[in-house]
Amino acid sequence: MKLPMNRSIIIGVIALLIGVAATLAFAQDRAQPASRPPMAEEVFKNVTVLKGLPVDEFMGTMGLFSAALSVCCGDCHVGAGSTNPHWDADPPKKQVARKMIQMVNAINRDNFGGVKIVTCWTCHRGSTAPSGTPPMDMIYGEPVIYPSDVLPAASGGNLLTADQVFDKYIQALGGAQRLAAHTSWAGKGTATLYGEIDAYPAEISAKAPNQFAMIIHETDGDMARTYDGRNGWVMLPLNAVSEYPLNAGMLEGAKLDAQLAFPAGIKQSLNNLHTSFPATVDGHATNVVQGNGASGLVVTFFFDAQSGLLTRVIRYANSAVGRVPTQIDFSDYRPVDGVMMPFKWNYSWISGREDYSLTEIQPNVAVDAAKFAKPVQRAR
């Protein structure tokens, strides 16, 4: 698929998350029951098809449209990117998008028992117009591999079991005893957004057992992901949807990110852990382990076959039109008070990618609880 090449397009992709089949104009004065998160139709105007979705799932759904068709908000919304967008307008492309959602839902309902087997990506694969005929260059050229979300179990030969892979990982980090001695840490450095050259100040903070925060101080405002041990949020430097809570699989994914900061208990936090077939990541052989969370979360771990260190994790949360992927790549491991910790994080999600380069990590420091709470946008 074609990826965004500059800052304006990345912003457009993020904005699309709040578009297609709905508009971004906020409904006013809607009090929300404390017992449930606000639904998309209660937060945005003109939602006609994707009703009953929490805001985070709604945004993830919009992101899947963007990725599957290689489009951004301006392709479906009137005036997107201008100072006076008409998000509540219904141009032809938005109407088509709604019909496509209904069509795909019907296909899955009538043929697959409602399971989301067919998605936008199934046909579009990065193009607004699906190709109906295989090109000869693709038939006889290098194969294009689209890995499955759910991986088969594998065993035998020289394959390690899931327990053995995680045990090797813990030992590679420094051992369970040294890991247990780390009860908090704070990292500082910079982050570069996809398609940009300039780096912004960034920080990553964690407190055992499962509190976590990633913050980038962009020029236009802060981007933040926080998890306080129970609740999670995402904040973007956009006026229309400055922050939103996480739910279900996306909340479970935020919890996993927090647990990875203190990884000794990862093995106990997931179900159905199994080894799959080996894979190559950045030219290095890896041992692959996959597991499931309680809210439909699917998680795939890639551990360097030689060092045992975690090099990649991909987690998938459910949405109305398929699974929403988030991928984190870890590198540049260095010893911090006896524990190997990654100083480079590549965080790829449905509306962008950030490359974190930490210059320092301080272990066992006091971290203000407010750091992990619902984020508040700084004054600009």
Summarize pLDDT for 188-216 with one digit per residue, the tens.
999 999 988 999 999 999 999 999 999 99
Q: Are residues 116 and 179 in the same domain?
A: no
Number of structural domains (the chain) is: 2
* AA letter at 215: I
Q: Are residues 362 and 278 in the same domain?
A: yes
Q: Where does the pLDDT of residue 34 fall: very low under 50, low under 70, confident under 90, or very high at 90 and above? A: very low
Domain extent at residue 75: 7-124
* Whether 45 contacts 27, CB under 8 Å: yes
Q: What whole-number distance in Å separates Cα of residue 85 and Cα of residue 74?
A: 10
Domain presence at residue 141? no
Provide the pLDDT for residue 239.
Answer: 58
Q: For residues 291 and 195, which has the higher predicted lDDT (pLDDT)?
A: 291
Please give the pLDDT value at position 380: 60
CB burial class (10 A; 0-12, 13-18, 19+) of residue 107? middle
Q: Please indicate, yes or no, if residue 151 is contained in any of the structural domains.
A: no
85 plus 195 within the same structural domain: no
DSSP state letters, 183-249: -EEEEEEEEEETT---EEEEEEEEETTTEEEEEEEETTEEEEEEE-SS-EEEE-S-STT-EEE--HH
| Domain at 238, CATH number | 2.50.20.10
Residue 240's pLDDT is: 58
Specify whether 109 is located in the same domain as 238: no
Is residue 2 situated within a structural domain?
no
Per-chain mean pLDDT for the chain: 87
Q: What is the pTM of this model?
A: 0.86
Please check whether residue 20 lies inside any domain of the structure: yes
The candidate with the shortest Cα–Cα distance to 36, out of 57, 14, 63, is 57
Note the pLDDT of residue 379.
Answer: 65
Question: Residue 26: pLDDT band by 50, 70, 90 thresholds?
Answer: very low
- Say how far apart CA 10 and CA 345 lie, in whole Å: 19
Q: With respect to residue 22, please indicate whether it lies within any of the assigned structural domains.
A: yes
Do 181 and 90 sit in the same domain of this protein? no
In a domain, residue 61? The reply is: yes
Residue 379 falls within a domain, yes or no?
no
